Structure 1
Amino acid sequence: MSLIKELILQIFFVLIPFVLFNIYYRDKMRNYSDVFILVTSSISLFLAMTFSSAVIDGIIFDVRYVIMFFGLVYGGIQTGLLLLAEFVIYRIYLGGDGAVVALVISVISFSVSLLLYRTYKTTHRKTLFTLLMGMLFSFIALILTYFYFPRYFVENLMFHLLVIPLQNSLGSWILMSLFSKSVSDKEIFIKHAQNEKIETMSHVAASLAHEVRNPLTAVKGFLRLIQENPSDTIKTTQYMGICMEEIQRTEAILSEYLAISKPLTNRHELVNVAELLKVMRAVMSPFAILHNVELDVRTPDTSVNIMANPDEIKQVLVNFIKNAIEACADVRRGRVFLSLSVEEGKAVLVIKDNGIGMDEGQMKRLGSIYFSTKSSGTGLGLTYSYHVIHTIGGTVSVNSKPNVGTKFSIIFPYQEQ
């Protein structure tokens, strides 16, 4: 029973990189890094060696080879060498009769890993390959253990032939399979989220192009009037002033559109949501007009600040406003209403529409990956938005009825200036 407990404990330690990946990268729009692999693998290796399996003191077995192979596959040769150095230093510190043979086994196992870790990336039979790698690590360890300690090996034959191969093969298969699946899912999520953003921006761009024609037409008309009567300086000055205003308005809208469509960064700073909403009104109004929807934005006269990434908050607002407008596209006198206020130390943003609405089942699934109320949607726009809001400590609540409309209440932690 004690050996079973030790086996389960070793499997738990080998899963540390997988568990920490799903915790740390859950709300991030990027995948793992070499530093993350090194840190999590180092923690896993240290704990596995500290609470290793052993029949007698001084001769210990753990999942070190699995962890070093994992570090090589996902972190590269530098990560693998650092993990090997950590093992050597810590194993010498632990000491015991098995220290020398443990160092020999690890050098050989690491050399084998160096030869085979690239094969893992190219093979289509990854499950079989990881199981065979676990068996290979066990075979190397058992052969050398028998060579150095034949009597000890024979006396504890079942432990060496059953427990050690099981913990290496099972540990290798579970860690590599689960981590590979998580990394693949994260890559798919990032790709779809980026595609969703591109699709949203293309829709907004189409409406902007339509809207930009209006001031350009006005500018063209006034320039023609100036050309026809250049001697009338009073009217020329008046016409030039109108032209400049139209050009500046167009330039401001296009600048904000480009700011929204640029790649996201990791910076966090004070964001004035009230000012941002005014910008969003200018950017999204053409999109609302294109769908015959009235867009009404109410903001307080004072600043309403939150601590966040401004690019992410812009994208969140675009996602919510775009969805609300599209929900009203087939409704007579469609209307989207946004209001911002500060209540009990919180910044509260309400987004209401009189669109098609949702039922209870749809509301419960909002924010879930790949769920969308639109036939052509992926749902990743709202999934991303929910992640951004939750990451900065905010919350989202929704109230909706079919054929009546939807109300989103987004609460952000308010920041004093």
Structure 2
Amino acid sequence: MGDSINYLLNNVVFVLLPLLFYQLFLREEDVTRRNKTFSKFFFVLVCSLIVTMSFPAPHINDFDYDLHIIPVIITFLYAPILSGISVVLITIAYSTYIDPTGILMNVVNYSIAAILLLLLKRLYNHSSHGRKVLLLSGFYMLLATSRCYYLYLSNNIDQLIFQIYLSTITWITLMFVVYIIENMDKQAKMKRELQNIEKINAVSQIAASVTHEVRNPLTTVRGFLQLLRESNRLQNKEKTYIEIAIDELNRAEYILSEFLSLSKPKQGKYEVIDIAQTIEDISMIMKPYATSTKVAIVTSIDKPLKIYGFKYEVQQVMLNIMKNGIEAMEDGGKLKISASHKEKKVEITITDSGRGMSEKELENIGNPYFSTKPNGTGLGLSVTFEIIKRMGGNVIFRSEQGKGTSFKIIFPTAYQN
């Protein structure tokens, strides 16, 4: 058994080494890894799969054991579905090449494993780190327990003991691989957040230096255009041009206001706000605009919901997200808004049924200058996220193309004596 354990430990190296090589020299954007079927990550896992299957641990009665199940599981959970299916097909093909007599059993076993992994993937992708460990451990222990139970019924005690060693080593290695990948994702996220902070700081510096200087001449130009619009000498066509010019000036003023919000956050002590009432007020304000675009606003709000903040800033947050949701539904739809208490927190969920966003767009959402709208600046959501962050809140957003986008905003509850 000692030699077999040594072979298994070699398999551990065959699993970890390609992954560490990928992390050091071949790393790609996590968005690329999750969306591109034949990414560098996929080929690294295929290499690991082939090597582990080529150098198994021989044991009693010519049974060979290896850790190739790890690359299969990881491909399904951290790469596109097509990548996982491709790895299963490669596994079946290579297993058949090694032992042609076991093709039927391999097809059945790996088909069942693929179905279970597809079901697990749906839960896994939206889980916290702790829950991912529990889900994955439960899945693997299910496979390992079924195998051990079969060996117990067959009275293969020696193989049963070795299977327990194998399962333990496999589980530890699997958890270590998950730790490496989750750590890579965490580093990538921190890097994006740092870049975002740098962009916001750059925007803030520009805003502080130019906003007031630009706003004064804009105000003068608007005043003269409004006077000119009242003239009886102008034709309707010319008045239309003036209206367009004033609208563009208003748009410029709005962008400058967003710049100013970034550069000069409101100072002072937070007040207690009933955000339930604020949501209802903003919903009423947005209703005419929503109706004009065939969007229905549906609310489900618990009362009261108290948080700390500045009323104007909270209104700005709600207005920006609702407006984005309405504009995402070009063919009409429903904007659903719910708010409630959840474990000493206030949770607000705003969901639209618009076109949704790709994973690449989701990665960039909230960055200055990034917008999914043709004429958008991206500053609206940048300001929104900054305000929520200053208030000690958090934003979780999910989106699926063709189905819509959901924003969940979580604020600490305000306690009053």
TM-score of the aligned structures, taking structure 1 as reference length: 0.44
Bigger radius of gyration: 1
TM-score of the aligned structures, taking structure 2 as reference length: 0.44
